[in-house]
Amino acid sequence: MRRALEVMVGGINLDKVIRDFRACLLRTVNEQRQPGPTPPSQTPRKKLAAMNRPMCHTALWTARSLVDEAVQFLERADSTFARRRRNCAWTTWFFHRRLRSITLSVWSSIFALDRPLPYLSVEECPGQSDTLADQLVDQAIRLIRFDVYRLAMMLNDYVDCLVALRCRRILCPDEAGLAGCERRMAKKLNDALAALQEATSKRNLGGSRNTSQEKAAELDKYVVTFITSMSSEAAQVERAVQLCVV
């Protein structure tokens, strides 16, 4: 999947494309809440219009083929996990990689308007059923007690997946099933952020395994900074999607 993130799309790699769209969405929301003297120069809609070119489409499909290779590897790993019991660290590692593959699959398919959006379309999750991304987040929350960095990394990828879905809805607002999926993912993100905060608090106190409630080893400063900034951005994305502000 690292190779997929390095694919150049419109002069920048896919990883930066994803980060730029998230920043653009948040900037647009803030500017609409506190309008300045001039309208925002860049919005997600304008950035998508600039990327909607055959060259970018080809680059994204190249990334999609690399992601598909990664998914095949993860499916083989899944069968190994099924045959042999693995500890929580290995299991959540798999959940994280699988969620990232879903996010990259969605991002690399946003311009393929003639095809259902992978993993999130009504064909993949009919009715009100959870997407595979939702299920992976739920299972990670259930398993993770102390590795809050892993949980934060998974939620970071989940946010990117939600931003990709928002971009697809900008391009094709009437696509069946995506509006409901977007609302459910936004709610799931809100619940997951609360679970992350609770897990972090328990981690700092040693969790239920420490009956004396003595403080456990402190989290690395980088981890604390990442969790704090990610949670703040994720909350803003969740509010923006709930309000459908673009």
What tens digit of pLDDT does each residue of 27-82 get? 877 776 666 555 555 688 888 888 888 999 999 999 999 999 999 988 888 777 76
More confident site: 4 or 84: 4
**Total domain count, the chain:** 1
Query: What's the pLDDT at 38?
Result: 52
Name the band, by pLDDT with cuts 50, 70 and 90, for residue 211. very low
d(CA 99, CA 101): 5
**Phi-psi region at 177: left, alpha or beta (left = phi > 0; alpha = psi -120 to 50):** left
Query: Dmax of the chain from CA atoms?
Result: 62
pLDDT above 90 for 212: no
DSSP state of 220: P
* Burial zone of 148 (CB within 10 Å; 0-12 exposed, 13-18 middle, 19+ buried): buried
Write down the pLDDT at residue 170.
92
| Angle formed by the axes of helices 88-107 and 148-171, nearest 10° | 20
Q: How far apart are CA 52 and CA 111, in angstroms?
A: 7
The CA R_g of the chain, rounded to the nearest whole Å, is 19
Give 12's contacts (C-beta < 8 A, 6+ positions apart): 20
For residues 13 and 53, give the distance between their C-alpha atoms in angstroms, rounded to a whole number: 16
> What is the rounded CA–CA span in Å between residue 83 and residue 184?
33
pLDDT recorded at residue 30: 73
- Domain range for 158: 2-243
